[in-house]
Amino acid sequence: MVGRQAIALVDVNNFYVSCERVFDPRLEGRPVVVLSNNDGCVVARSAEAKALGIATGAPWFQIQAQAKAWGLVARSSNYELYGDMSARVMEVVGRFGTWQEVYSIDESFVGLLGDPAQLETCGREIRAAVMRHVGLPVCVGIAQTKTLAKFANRIAKQNPALEGVCSLDSMPAGHVQAIQERVPASGLWGVGERTAKRLKMLEIQTIADLKAADPALIRKKFSVVLQRTVMELNGTECIPHTEERVDKQQIMFSRSFSTPVTTIEGMEQVMAVYAQRGAARLNDSGLRASIMTVTAGTSRFAAGEGSFPAATIRFATPTQDPIVLTRAAVAAIGQSAVPGASYLRAGVMFSGLEPLSGPEMLDVFAKPGGQPCVGGVLGDVRTKFGSQAIGLGFGGLAEPPSWSMKRELSSPKYTTEWSDLPVVRA
């Protein structure tokens, strides 16, 4: 394919709900919501659930009693399923581009080449390929900049006649201008409600108004980020791709508990599990860390219990070894947690990251013949046999602890656990 360069934004429609529907077709056409950690509140809604007036953030306990009358189906967040389905989508989408930037779990920017007709055809091929290979519906917006590609994706979602694909170059300029004159500035990627209110004070209310604004004035009154948005609306590419950005600075694993943990031994168990989960993320990212921060906290409504302050551990040699990280996290929580406090959440955060493949610093104080790093081995076993197949200490328990995150309405981990593989009977 030859021609001018363009950028496509591929976005999965109602991602969490769509993942649930792939393996349970009975959910098609029914109102479905996906709940947050510990089944607390609604974080994703199907179109049918939106039509019922269910808002994002609505507490589940408030709408649970009406679910049966509405025909509403609720699912706990199945992060293992969603993560694996995301990876499958991104692999398929990446086949079509000259470059790819995975922007979020359900969005990816892709570089394309071609004339307007070829670009639109490519967008339809992407949409068909994702549906055929993964079973998820996507919308594709194609334009000359990321900001315009986001805008085109919005048009594709809201106009069924476009059948999920909008290429701005294929639309009459007058039509694009008319849409921009109707959509408020807050409907644009990177423009929040607070910024939109400030823009109104300058009589900038719509996307068309912002496009016509003076970039220098916008930078002076707001920021260079919003100035770039104005320039991108006018076809000048200003937002860099992933490969041009600074590498990831932090990796975190943080969760709330289904029931409070009140003992030091219980918090040590938590940290043994969370440090290994964080180490797995380091290994998956090909990184090692020189700093680990351990946190834990009680309810923000609790008085006098004293949340555990963040403890920072610095390693003489950057590491992603789960044994080293687990021992350090357990020791930190054991020394600093308050006995009897009702802890409801905890986490580990890694910083001072560097590539695992880079040159490793020599630790002159290390014991010869020390413990080899087993992160890669654990990762390989989990990839082949599932996330619960192996672990260190409490992290290797087959049954989840009582404090584990509440997910009573979770669907099976269809693609990541052998025991949850769908069974087809003929």
Residues spanned by the domain of 30 = 15-81
The model's confidence at residue 30, banded by pLDDT at 50, 70 and 90, is: very high
- Which CATH number fits the domain that encloses residue 389? 3.30.1490.100
Evaluate whether residue 408 is within a structural domain.
no
Among 7, 260, 246, 17, smallest CA distance to 110 is for 7
Q: Are residues 262 and 292 in the same domain?
A: yes
Structure confidence by residue, pLDDT tens digits, 63-113 = 888 888 999 999 988 877 888 888 888 888 888 888 888 888 889 899 898
Evaluate whether residue 401 is within a structural domain.
no
Evaluate whether residue 163 is within a structural domain.
yes
Q: Are residues 91 and 54 in the same domain?
A: no
Task: Name 251's bridge partners.
Answer: 350
Q: Are residues 131 and 272 in the same domain?
A: no
* Helix 79-94, helix 15-23: angle, nearest 10: 100
Q: Are residues 23 and 8 in the same domain?
A: no
Question: How high is the pLDDT of residue 31?
Answer: 93
Among 148, 306, 300, smallest CA distance to 238 is for 148
Task: Indicate if the alpha-carbon torsion angle 368, 369, 371, 372 is positive or negative.
Answer: positive
Tally of structural domains, the chain: 3
Q: Are residues 77 and 118 in the same domain?
A: no
Q: Are residues 8 and 145 in the same domain?
A: yes
Distance between CA atoms of residues 371 and 218, nearest Å: 56
For the residues 200-223, what does the mean pLDDT come to? 88
Evaluate whether residue 406 is within a structural domain.
no
Q: Are residues 258 and 389 in the same domain?
A: yes
The model's confidence at residue 8, banded by pLDDT at 50, 70 and 90, is: very high
Evaluate whether residue 416 is within a structural domain.
no
pTM of structure: 0.67
Evaluate whether residue 365 is within a structural domain.
no
Evaluate whether residue 147 is within a structural domain.
yes
Q: Are residues 91 and 111 in the same domain?
A: yes
Q: Are residues 311 and 347 in the same domain?
A: yes
Q: Are residues 215 and 274 in the same domain?
A: no
For the residues 242-265, what does the mean pLDDT come to? 69
Question: How high is the pLDDT of residue 165?
Answer: 93
- Which CATH number fits the domain that encloses residue 56? 3.40.1170.60
Distance between CA atoms of residues 334 and 177, nearest Å: 61
- Which CATH number fits the domain that encloses residue 101? 3.30.70.270
Question: How high is the pLDDT of residue 246?
Answer: 37
Evaluate whether residue 38 is within a structural domain.
yes
Above pLDDT 70, what percent of the chain?
82
For residues 234 and 383, which has the higher predicted lDDT (pLDDT)?
Answer: 234
The alpha helices in 2-78, defined as continuous H runs, are: 15-23, 47-51, 60-63, 67-70
